[in-house]
Structure 1
Amino acid sequence: MIYARIAGTGSFLPGEPVSNDDLVARGIETSDEWIVSRSGIRSRHLAAADVGASDLAVVAAQRAIEAAACTAEDIDLIIVATSTPDFIFPSTAALVQSKLGIRNGGAVFDVQAVCSGFVYGLSVAEKFIRSGSHKRALVIGAEVFSRILDWSDRATCVLFGDGAGAVVLEASERPGILASALHADGSHHAILCVPGGVAAGQITGDPFLRMDGQAVFKFAVKVLGEVAHEVLEQAGERADSIDWLIPHQANIRIIQATAKRLGIPMEKVITTLDHHGNTSAASIPLALDEAVRAGKVRAGQRLMVEGVGGGFTWGAALIDF
């Protein structure tokens, strides 16, 4: 049997932290107390105007490759999960491949599943590896969400940040990703979306993120609990076998409610949204890498990663690290 295991992790955050008070100083009508009480977020990172998702992704990728003790040329598949690509085309993954100097002709493509994007990319890469067609994949979540925020909408602009996280997934004789599940229901697209488009070289419609917060909360808590149980059942495991839950970092109340449904204490949940904000597809690999480098997540432990995002999309994976 061929399995897919995480061999290395990496991440990158642009610039210095931007606190809630910094946002107030920039003229946003809000307060630190208002933001923290509703989301748990205290600061986030925002990329400079000349920095794209591929720039963040490359640094995270280089760190993951170094941690995996391989070279860039060893990577034969690159999947980048992003909703904020550098260009309409080529893909951000193609730009990452070029910037890493990889010339081996391996496959590259982007995945657009918003905040579930990293879980989608991880699951797809695992299937490529288990099929035997590829040996080493780079799966990246990279976002510059600050580019699609309406900075006059205090209900949304204070929640998001920019960043990138990456893992190297490689073929192994030992099990790594034990089970995964992906889902979507496009009928809920209106409660979290950027309803703009491009036609004849012009942006059409609304180019900014729009969200019905209460509807998103209810939907997210429901499907995150369901998909976690689905993956555990698929693997023949119980929730008490999980050493760490690493959820998408959207809102502390969603994270707490999901952990409660699984019977997992918050002491076993990795949270970074207080200092990262919601970085969409980047949030899970960012949190994973921070936990690995802090010595929390260690080899031999069992992880559950899960995310839910606009689309609506959702998914989870159970991993032996």
Structure 2
Amino acid sequence: MQAFIKAISYYLPQQQLSNTELAKLFPEWGVEKIAKKIGINTRHIAAADEFASDMAIAAAQKLFTEHHINPAEIDFILYCTQSPDYFLPTTACIIQDKLNLPVKAGALDFNLGCSGYIYGLALAKGLIAGGIAKNILLLTSETYSKFIHPGDKGNRTIFGDAAAATLISTDGIAAIGQFELGTDGKGAENLMVKQGAIRYPDKNRDSVNDGYGNEQSPGHLYMDGPEIFAFTSQIVPALIAGTLFKNNVDKAGIDQFILHQANQYMLEHLRKKMDIPVPNFYNAMAGVGNTVSSSVPIALYDAMKEKPAAPKAKWLLAGFGVGYSWGATVITF
């Protein structure tokens, strides 16, 4: 049975962190420099008492209202986050109750970052193909800001908080094609919050300067930027090539490429390396930042509003990052 993206909505926290505010905190990190290199002007930050589940619920409520969806028809919830409310219970179960979704609906969390939306689409397609569910609510929500050291100018510049809600069903606006997925756990320590879970439960908040003006500690988000860049530069072109092959389409047959919105420098490097024309390569991070698992659905929503797809148009979606983990698919309108 074919699976379709039927509707998308997203939620952004009210609080914002602008480049002007960052430049005041880090005088050596000017407003123009941030905008030119990173491609981000502002990012939304969850309030102290606002958590990933709250944002996911807000995104789902927007989805139901904006697209006139009956919550009673939802029969499965997939919730992607790396900042869950609790170790247990499963946050998707809490979301089911707070949204008053049917108790017959399945619900599960999965822990993935920048590839999470693509994996969610793959899981949803499998549930529909197996006859297990017909209307799946895919939620992505992340509050990386709560992991970042206040003195870490690099990560504070890049990441923003957000949530997105997508309905995947047996009919809809875009058919979900074949997937190319991959994993390389050897890169796990290059993007990590090392302390706080079971292996290293005690958080060491003693910080050190990494030599680039960033304060970091094992209890906060650590990212080795050069290693992440090298991984992305190597794996993404192969990911795109494999996805095109599996979907029996060439690069010229893709009307729009929507990649994980990591940062402008990285995306422009990838675009040039893969020789993709500027009009076919969508960028939607300026007002939100890198929103991790929500970056692809936010960009997809904005792209569909800005430049509605023609019938039978093919768009390629790709996510990659923490794990290392990567995935891509093609959707056909």
Report TM bin, short chain.
Answer: over 0.9
1:117-154 superposed Cα distances (whole Å, 9 cap, x missing partner) = 11111111111111111101111211111100012121
Contact 2:182–2:325 (Cα < 8 Å) also in 1: yes
Contact 2:5–2:172 (Cα < 8 Å) also in 1: no
Distance 2:139 2:168 in 1: 11
Can you give the 5+ residue segments of structure 2 that lack an aligned partner in the other structure?
205-217
| Residue pairs, 1:92-103, within 5 angstroms | 92-103=91-102
Q: Which amino acid aligns with 2:260?
A: H
2:238 alignment partner in structure 1:
226
Contact 2:63–2:69 (Cα < 8 Å) also in 1: no
| Residue pairs, 1:70-149, within 5 angstroms | 70-149=69-148
Choose the corresponding residue for 1:241, options 242, 247, 253.
253
Please, what TM-score do these two structures have when normalized by structure 1? 0.92
SS across alignment from 2:318:
strand
How far did 1:37 drift? Answer: 3.3
2:262 alignment partner in structure 1:
250
Once the two structures are aligned, what percentage of the paired residues are identical? Answer: 30
How far did 1:297 drift? Answer: 4.5
How far did 1:244 drift? Answer: 1.3
Flag the 1:118–1:203 CA change in 2: closer, same or farther, 3 A.
farther
Choose the corresponding residue for 2:325, options 305, 313, 316.
313
Choose the corresponding residue for 1:304, options 316, 325, 330.
316
Q: Which amino acid aligns with 2:317?
A: V
How far did 1:29 drift? Answer: 5.4
1:271 alignment partner in structure 2:
283
Contact 2:26–2:153 (Cα < 8 Å) also in 1: no
How far did 1:77 drift? Answer: 1.1
Contact 2:15–2:46 (Cα < 8 Å) also in 1: no
How far did 1:97 drift? Answer: 1.4
Q: Which amino acid aligns with 2:161?
A: D
2:20 alignment partner in structure 1:
21
1:49 aligns with 2:61: no
2:166 alignment partner in structure 1:
167
1:143-170 superposed Cα distances (whole Å, 9 cap, x missing partner) = 1111000121212221110011121000
Can you give the 5+ residue segments of structure 1 that lack an aligned partner in the other structure?
none
Choose the corresponding residue for 2:229, options 195, 201, 217.
217
RMSD: 2.2
Q: Which amino acid aligns with 2:297?
A: P
Distance 1:213 1:106 in 2: 40
Flag the 1:154–1:4 CA change in 2: closer, same or farther, 3 A.
same
Please, what TM-score do these two structures have when normalized by structure 2? 0.89
Flag the 1:204–1:173 CA change in 2: closer, same or farther, 3 A.
closer
Distance 1:175 1:198 in 2: 39
